[in-house]
Chains A and B, each alone.
Chain A
Amino acid sequence: MTSSKSTDLPDQILLGRAIQGDAEAFGDIYEQHLEEILRYVFYRVANRFEAEDLTETVFLKAWEALPRFESSRVNLRAWLYRIAHNVVVDHYRTRKATAALSDVSLRDDHPLPEQRVQTREQNQQLALAIQSLNANLQNVIICRFINGLSHSETAQIMGLREGHVRVLQHRALKKLRQWLEKE
C-alpha cells in the first residue's frame, strides 16, 4: 500500500486506487464519507455506539463489494447510503437482545458539560422521533433535513423518482409535526 494520506483527492481518484486494493485510499474515502454515513445510521438506530459499529460494518461491506463497483453507473455516495440502509436492516433483523433505548445514555458515563448533555439528549429525542416513522420516511427525513441532500440526491439513494420523494417528504413532515407538537 503506497498511497499517502490524501483526503482532499476527489472520490474518483481514491476510488480507482481503492478498487485496485489500496487500503489507505479506501481509508481516505472512509474519512470523506464517515460523518454523513454515521449520522444517517445514528438517526436510524438512535444509539451512538451501535451507530459507530454499524458504520464500520458499512465500510467493510463496501470494501468487499468494491471490485464489482462501477463508478460510471452509480454514485459512490448513493451506493454507501444504500449499503448503510441494508446494514441497518440487517441489524434489526439479527440482533437478539439490546439495551432499551432509554438506557443508552447510561453507557456514556463520562461527565459532560451541561450544554453537551442537552445536545445529546436533543439528538436522542430527535432520533426517537425519526424512528417513529417507517423506513422510507426515515430515509427521506435523514437524507433531506439531517444530511442536507437535495430531492434528486435523495431520490437516487432511495432508488425512487424525485416526485415520489416529494410525496414522501410531505407525509414525513406531517407525521413529525404531530410528534413535535406532542412533545
Chain B
Amino acid sequence: MRDNLTNILASCLEAIEQGERTVEGCLELYPAHRETLQPLLDTATALKARADFAPRPGFREASRARLVKRLGPHQPSPAGHPVHRSGHKRLPVFSRKLAMSWAIILALVVSLLGAGTVYASGSALPGDLLYPVKLSVEHIRLSIADDAGEVSLATEFLQTRLDEIQALIEANREDDLHLVVEPFSDRITVATHSLAAVFQENAERAAQLAPLLEEALSTHTEVLTSLLDTVPDRAKPAIERAISSSSRGREVVRGLFESDRPGGGPPESIPGPPVTPPGGGVPERTPGPPVSPPDVGRPESTPVPSVTPSRGDPPVDIPTPPVTVPGDGPPEGVPGPPVTLPVTPGVPPIPVRPPGAPGRRP
C-alpha cells in the first residue's frame, strides 16, 4: 500500500491521540514529509486547543426539564398501513414475478460460476480477472430491485466505485483507474434514471430519495477532489472524469425538482449519461443546498429523521459568513440557495419512462 500523505497524516493523528507519539515524534518518523506534515498536525492540535465550547451553566438541567415536558407518547404506525422495512412500496404482482425470475437468474449465475467465485469477486478491483463478475452481480441486483431500490443500490455501488478508486491509488495501480470511470458513471446514470422514474410515479418518495443521492454525489465529489491533490499527474484525467460525472449527476437530481417548481411542470426528459468535457477539467464547485447524509450503509429499518424535502421550496436566504479561505475563491461555507441549473447542453435527452411502462436499462 502506498504510504501517501493522507495515510501518514491519519496514522500520525491516531498515534498522537492515543498518546503514543508527539508531533515531533511523528515528524522524525517521516522526515521526507516534514514540511507538509507539520502544518497539518499543528492545525489539528490548534483546533483541539481552541475548541472550548460548553453548555451555559444551568442549561443542562433547564433544557432537560423542558424537553421531558414536551415529550408526548410515541405514535404507533397507522393501522392498515404496515411499515415495510425498506419503506418502499410493495412490488406489484407483475414486478414480483419479474424479480423472482431475476432471482432465479442470479441463482443460476452463482451456481455456474460457483459461490466462491462470486464471493471472491467482491474484493476485485478494475483490471482484475473477477472484476466483470463483480459488476455483473451488481447489475443483477439492480435488475431485481424496484425503482426506489435501484436508487439506493446504485448509490451504494457508487461508494464501492469510490473505494475501488482509492484502492487502486493506494496499490499504485493508477493505470487501471480509467477502467473504473465507466462503471462509476453508469451507476450515476442508473441512480438518476431510477430517481426520475420514481418521480413520475411518486414525487414525494422521490423527494425523500433525492437528498440522499445528492449528498452522496456531493461527498464523492469532495473525496475525489481531495484525491486529486495527492495522485500523480497520469491519474488525474480519470479522476477528473469521475468528478465531472458526479457533478453532472447532481445537476440532474436538482434539475428534476427545479422543473417541478410552479410554472415548471414535470420534466419530460433528463440529461443522459455524463460525458467528458473537452479538456476533462474539474468543474467549478456549485454550492448547493445542504442535504441529509447518504443512506449508504444506513440500516433501512432505523430511519433518521431527514431533512425537509426541498421540492417546491422557495430559494432560501442563507447568509454566508464573512470568511474567505485565501487562495480558494469564494468561501464554500454555508451552502448557498438552491440554484436552478440548466439542462446540460449538448447531451441528448433520455426519455423518462412513463409510469408503469415496462422495460429497464439495456
Q: Which residues does A use to contact B, with CB under 8 Å?
A: 19, 21, 23-24, 26-27, 30-31, 34-35, 38-39, 42-43, 46, 48, 52, 55-56, 59-70, 73-74, 79, 82-83, 85-90, 92-98, 100-102, 119, 122-123, 126-129, 131-137, 141, 144-146, 148, 150-151, 158-161, 163-164, 166-171, 173-182
CA distance A164 to B10 in the complex (A): 11
Indicate whether B3 reaches chain A with its CB closer than 8 angstroms.
no
B130-172 contacts to A, CB under 8 A, are 159, 162-163, 166, 170
Indicate whether B318 reaches chain A with its CB closer than 8 angstroms.
yes
A68 with B302: CB separation less than 8 A: yes
Partner of B331, one of A24, A59, A85, A132: A132
B323 with A128: CB separation less than 8 A: yes
- A93-B316, A95-B316 are known contacts. Are A24 and B68 too (CB-CB below 8 A)? yes
Partner of A56, one of B40, B56, B67: B67
Partner of B297, one of A94, A132, A159: A159
Tell me the interface secondary structure of chain A in the complex: helix
Whole-angstrom distance between the Cβ of B127 and the nearest chain A Cβ:
19
Indicate whether B361 reaches chain A with its CB closer than 8 angstroms.
no
Indicate whether B47 reaches chain A with its CB closer than 8 angstroms.
yes
A167 with B303: CB separation less than 8 A: no
Closest 10 CB pairs of A and B: A73-B299, A171-B226, A61-B305, A145-B47, A166-B10, A89-B290, A23-B71, A134-B332, A82-B304, A132-B323
Indicate whether B55 reaches chain A with its CB closer than 8 angstroms.
yes
CA distance A63 to B313 in the complex (A): 26
Indicate whether B335 reaches chain A with its CB closer than 8 angstroms.
yes
Q: Across the interface, which residues of B come within 8 angstroms of A179, CB to CB?
A: 323, 325-326
- A86-B292, A159-B295, A178-B326 are known contacts. Are A27 and B67 too (CB-CB below 8 A)? yes
19 contacts across the A-B interface (CB closer than 8 A): A34-B64, A64-B75, A74-B302, A86-B307, A87-B305, A89-B291, A92-B289, A92-B290, A102-B322, A131-B333, A135-B290, A150-B14, A151-B10, A159-B298, A160-B159, A164-B166, A167-B6, A177-B42, A182-B325
Q: Across the interface, which residues of B come within 8 angstroms of A90, CB to CB?
A: 307-308
How many chain-B residues does the 8 Å CB contact rule pick out? Answer: 91
Q: Across the interface, which residues of A come within 8 angstroms of B44, CB to CB?
A: 144-145, 173
Q: Across the interface, which residues of A come within 8 angstroms of B318, CB to CB?
A: 92, 95
Indicate whether B227 reaches chain A with its CB closer than 8 angstroms.
yes
CA distance A49 to B305 in the complex (A): 22
- A35-B54, A86-B307, A92-B335 are known contacts. Are A68 and B67 too (CB-CB below 8 A)? no
Q: Across the interface, which residues of B come within 8 angstroms of A43, CB to CB?
A: 51, 53
A70 with B301: CB separation less than 8 A: yes
CA distance A98 to B289 in the complex (A): 17
A171 with B302: CB separation less than 8 A: no
Which of B173-181, B217-225, B241-249, B351-359 participates in binding chain A?
A: B217-225
A67 with B74: CB separation less than 8 A: yes
B68 with A176: CB separation less than 8 A: no
Partner of A126, one of B17, B50, B298: B50
- A76's nearest neighbour on chain B, judged by CB, is B302
Taking A26-B71, A67-B75, A173-B44 as known contacts, 5 extra A-B pairs with beta carbons closer than 8 A to each other, sorted by chain A number, are: A30-B64, A67-B76, A89-B292, A159-B296, A170-B226
B51 with A126: CB separation less than 8 A: yes
Q: Across the interface, which residues of B come within 8 angstroms of A175, CB to CB?
A: 325, 328
- A123's nearest neighbour on chain B, judged by CB, is B53
- B297's nearest neighbour on chain A, judged by CB, is A159
Indicate whether B60 reaches chain A with its CB closer than 8 angstroms.
yes
A166 with B313: CB separation less than 8 A: no
Indicate whether B7 reaches chain A with its CB closer than 8 angstroms.
yes
- A34's nearest neighbour on chain B, judged by CB, is B60
CA distance A177 to B313 in the complex (A): 36
- B63's nearest neighbour on chain A, judged by CB, is A56
Partner of A181, one of B17, B48, B290, B326: B326
